[in-house]
Amino acid sequence: MFIQQLYTGCLSEAAYYIESGGEAAIIDPLRDIEDYLQMARDRKATIKYIFETHFHADFVSGHLDLAQASGAPIIYGPQTETSFPIYKAKDGEQFRLGDLTIEVLHTPGHTVESSCYLLKDANGKAHALFTGDTLFVGDVGRPDLSSGNLDKEELAGMLYDSLEQKIKPLPDDVIIYPAHGPGSSCGKNLGPDTYSTLGEERQTNYALKPQTTEEFVRVVTEGLITAPQYFSINARINKEGYESLDGVMENALQPLALDAFKDFIKNDDAIILDTRNSTMFTEGFVPGSISIGLDGRFAEWAGSLLPFDKPIVLVTEAGKEKESAIRLARVGFDQMTGYLEGGFETWKAAGETVDLVINVEPDEMALDLRFDPKLRVVDVRRETEYGDGHLAEAKNIPLETLTDPGTMAEFNDTDNIYLHCTGGYRSVIACSLFKRQGIHNLRNVNGGWNGIREIQGVEVVKENSVLN
């Protein structure tokens, strides 16, 4: 028996490679499938099955390309309807993999088609459960992402039954392998680890505590933040199908000479996406660019802030073109039309107009607050972060809302604006969005809230109504 968790940090996503007797199964593959194919080649194994736990909302799965490359069937659990051929397994159906058995456990709740896969050893003993988004370390999948006619309370009730009837009866030593780890928006507050045991989860996971259906529904549905806008788009793509990644990458990795790049960005619909880290971006960038650096939760913020129906051209660090394109494709961006050959240095060397973001230290901002009555502080952290402590003068505009029509309508270029987040990554993105709207009189606060809260004399307040 061989099990490998393949974890992708920027998406907090876990795919799995399972092998026995020269036969392999892949669970919840990412769109870029080469790692799975290479692992099978290296281990001289044949990919026999592709198992999907549900229609993923936070990334585009690699099931279609992997099936094409390997010839393996795509297997979903009951109540799954797709626009492409799949094998729809029955609840309790078993699949042989070498000396092992994989049993389908239909566990609706996160979505109606959600299923877990129970791996049994050669003796038929339950060894591991691949739970998808049904059960996480310290949490369960949120029940408000499903399309259809069911509301979150109805799905939460189904999730309660799935846990009680399908998962809780399993032995304590069964290893829990979920589809996500800490940072994922598919749950409320996932634990710090990427795997656990059922016994550990019984002791620590609030959702597995003894409770009534009503109590469970209440605790699982309260405090849910708004799901990122791209979740519904990715779920639809995974259900209906998508273009091969090879075709997407062929377009995305077209090098554009300066003149071709300039012609492209004359299009009002064009998105210039700069994937360099935030420090490099603030020192100079192509005017109108949106900064989303590869050094943060890149794919998640791209999916949350960028339109899926507009052409994107990339400005990257040298050698980061492919990584940028793949990470965009993972969340469904297929309209990438190339990258600026030579990156920002090409633009700068040609004497083209350069924009920049002025950085200030937290203590400089605090000093300016005392003497500039027109200074406006914008805190782009999430509402709960803001509620847990913020400057008395700060207005909260969460980064994910900055693309909403009218969000910036109250600002103009005569305002003296200081933007901050927790550490600086999100505030630089916010600065680029403000500048794209023609608002340039702004500053980025280096170190964000982590630095601001250490300053003596600044007034920090909490919003208990948000925290409760």
On whether both 84 and 170 belong to a single domain, the answer is: yes
Residue 358 has pLDDT above 70, yes or no: yes
**Band of residue 148 on the pLDDT scale cut at 50, 70, 90:** low
> Measuring CA to CA, which residue among 69, 57, 52, 64 is closest to residue 15?
52
In a domain, 86, yes or no: yes
**What pLDDT shows up at residue 359?**
97
**What pLDDT shows up at residue 267?**
87
On whether both 362 and 339 belong to a single domain, the answer is: no
On whether both 40 and 187 belong to a single domain, the answer is: yes
- Report pLDDT digits (tens) over 264-313: 999 888 999 999 999 999 999 999 999 999 999 999 999 999 999 999 99
Residue 468 has pLDDT above 60, yes or no: no
CATH code of the domain containing 451: 3.40.250.10
Judge contact between 100 and 20, C-beta under 8 A. yes
**What pLDDT shows up at residue 456?**
83
The token duo for 261 is 């790049």
**What pLDDT shows up at residue 355?**
98
On whether both 74 and 199 belong to a single domain, the answer is: yes
Measured distance CA(251)–CA(106) in Å, rounded: 39
CA atoms within 13 A on the CB side of 398: 14
**What pLDDT shows up at residue 50?**
98
In a domain, 28, yes or no: yes
Q: How far is CA 270 from CA 251, 286, 313, 316, 333, in A?
A: 15, 13, 7, 16, 14
Exposed e or buried b per residue across 255-285, where buried means at least 16 C-beta atoms within 10 angstroms of its C-beta? ebeeebbeebbeeeebbbbbbbbbebbbeeb
Judge contact between 355 and 435, C-beta under 8 A. yes
> Measuring CA to CA, which residue among 11, 4, 1, 2 is closest to residue 31?
11
> Measuring CA to CA, which residue among 60, 62, 55 is closest to residue 16?
62
In a domain, 419, yes or no: yes
Residue 444 has pLDDT above 90, yes or no: yes
Strands (E), 217-278: 255-256, 271-274
On whether both 176 and 284 belong to a single domain, the answer is: no
- Cα dihedral 448, 449, 455, 458 in deg (nearest 10): 120
Give the other-Cβ count within 10 Å of 288's Cβ: 14
The token duo for 215 is 């109590």
Q: Where are the alpha helices (DSSP H) in 288-396?
A: 298-305, 321-329, 343-349, 362-371, 383-387
On whether both 40 and 162 belong to a single domain, the answer is: yes
Pairing mode, if any, of strands 416-420 and 442-445?
parallel
The token duo for 123 is 């003796």
Measured distance CA(385)–CA(212) in Å, rounded: 31
Angle at 450 between CA 456 and CA 373, to 5 degrees: 55
With a pLDDT cut of 70, the percent of the chain lying above it is 98
Measured distance CA(274)–CA(315) in Å, rounded: 5
On whether both 368 and 265 belong to a single domain, the answer is: no
In a domain, 238, yes or no: no
In a domain, 448, yes or no: yes
Residue 466 has pLDDT above 70, yes or no: no
In a domain, 132, yes or no: yes
- Among candidate residues 318, 349, 380, the one where a domain is terminated: 349
In a domain, 120, yes or no: yes
Report the number of distinct structural domains present in the chain.
Answer: 3
The token duo for 387 is 């509620």
On whether both 156 and 196 belong to a single domain, the answer is: yes
Residues paired with 17 in a beta bridge: 4, 26
**Band of residue 340 on the pLDDT scale cut at 50, 70, 90:** very high
On whether both 146 and 67 belong to a single domain, the answer is: yes
Cα 224 off chain centre by:
16
**What pLDDT shows up at residue 465?**
60
Mean per-residue pLDDT of the chain: 94
- Among candidate residues 200, 232, 264, the one where a domain is terminated: 232
On whether both 141 and 209 belong to a single domain, the answer is: yes
On whether both 160 and 24 belong to a single domain, the answer is: yes
- Among candidate residues 330, 349, 368, the one where a domain is terminated: 349
In a domain, 335, yes or no: yes
The token duo for 54 is 């549900």
Residue owning tokens 């009555």: 373
CATH code of the domain containing 180: 3.60.15.10
Exposed e or buried b per residue across 339-348, where buried means at least 16 C-beta atoms within 10 angstroms of its C-beta? bbebbbebbe
Judge contact between 327 and 8, C-beta under 8 A. no
On whether both 263 and 375 belong to a single domain, the answer is: no
- What's the predicted TM-score (pTM) here? 0.93
Q: Which domain holds residue 185?
A: 2-232
Residue 249 has pLDDT above 70, yes or no: yes
User: What mean pLDDT do residues 387-406 have?
Assistant: 92
Measured distance CA(301)–CA(398) in Å, rounded: 12
Residues paired with 96 in a beta bridge: 101
**Band of residue 147 on the pLDDT scale cut at 50, 70, 90:** low
